[in-house]
Amino acid sequence: MKHIPVLLLSSLVALSAPPDPSAEGAAPAEEAPTAKPKVSRMELLGGLATKDPQGPAVVLVDTVGGSAYPLSRVVTEYTTLQPTRIETVAEKTTGGDILAYARGVMESRKALMVVVLAAEGDRPALSVYPEERIAVVNMDRLAEGGDERKLEDRTIKEIWRAMGFLFGVGYAPDDFSAMQPVGTLPELDAVRAQLINPRDMRICTRLCDKYGAVRGVRTTYRQAVVDGWAAPPTNDVQRAIWEKYHK
């Protein structure tokens, strides 16, 4: 086999190699396109806008202590189903007429309704005064024959039942609501649901409307602008939405 001269071999390699990008006259390399940041639909609508509930509140009063968990649980569930104002008060009483005490809370707070947790001896577990929008939950009765966990379960149910009666919900036709006809603590324990059926909560709006309890709103900024209660814009997207509907 004949040997190819070294000089000729190096020339062939140089001719077959790709052009050096740095060489004069070489075509500039194309820059990779910059990826545009993804924008969510919520951002395009201006983000979230919230309006706090207005008007009188449901007031839950604990006069005996130890009911922080049941009250907080009820507040969380209530604001999800019926986002009007609800407040909790922890205040020891010195005895006396619990109904008169509840009337004082109603007057001082201009409440939508008042539910009082009190130690009322052998009085019924739940007393409801619909005309005055007041209910009293007797913690002495609820504590009978049960441990702390059972007492919490009973308390949650009775608070919801108290609010249900005051709102005008009445007894539920199915088992998916705490609004069941019960006459004893074992019957209350047997109720599976701890709160009012969300479907029945629509009845509550009648009382809320009558006394001016306005629901809170959580929606998009665009919808808030359309509805006429949005705050002034704080960014370019919101500004474009604002100007579109404020021409």
201 shares a domain with 79: yes
Residue 178: name the closest of 142, 207, 154, 146 by CA: 154
201 shares a domain with 238: no
Residue environment code for 90-115, b if the CB has 16+ CB neighbours within 10 A, otherwise e: eeeeeeeebeebbeebbeeeebbbbb
Q: Which amino acid is at 188?
A: L
Q: Which CATH number do you get for residue 188? A: 3.40.390.10
91 shares a domain with 198: yes
237 shares a domain with 129: no
Question: Given this model, what pLDDT does residue 39 score?
Answer: 64
225 shares a domain with 184: no
192 shares a domain with 117: yes
Domain assignment present for residue 24? The answer is no
Domain assignment present for residue 239? The answer is yes
Asked if 185 and 141 touch (Cβ cutoff 8 Å), the reply is yes
169 shares a domain with 103: yes
Q: pLDDT tens digits for the chain (247 residues)?
A: 445 444 444 444 444 555 555 555 555 556 656 665 666 777 888 888 888 899 999 999 999 998 899 999 999 999 999 889 999 999 988 778 999 999 999 999 999 999 999 999 999 999 999 999 999 999 999 999 988 999 999 999 999 999 999 999 999 988 999 999 999 999 999 999 999 998 888 889 889 999 999 988 888 888 888 888 888 988 988 888 888 888 7
Question: Given this model, what pLDDT does residue 1 score?
Answer: 47
Considering only the C-alpha atoms of the chain, give the largest distance between any 2 of them, rounded to a whole number of Å.
123
Domain assignment present for residue 37? The answer is no
Domain assignment present for residue 133? The answer is yes
Domain assignment present for residue 112? The answer is yes
175 shares a domain with 131: yes
Question: Given this model, what pLDDT does residue 190 score?
Answer: 96
Q: Measured between alpha carbons, how far apart are the two ends of the chain, in Å?
A: 89
pTM here is 0.76
193 shares a domain with 130: yes
124 shares a domain with 86: yes
162 shares a domain with 75: yes
- How many domains does the chain divide into? 2
Domain assignment present for residue 6? The answer is no
Q: Which two tokens stand for residue 234?
A: 């704080």
137 shares a domain with 58: yes
Cα gap 132→103, rounded to integer Å? 8
- Residue 228 is part of which domain span? 217-245
Question: Given this model, what pLDDT does residue 64 score?
Answer: 93
Question: Given this model, what pLDDT does residue 149 score?
Answer: 93
Domain assignment present for residue 221? The answer is yes
Question: Given this model, what pLDDT does residue 219 score?
Answer: 84
Domain assignment present for residue 7? The answer is no
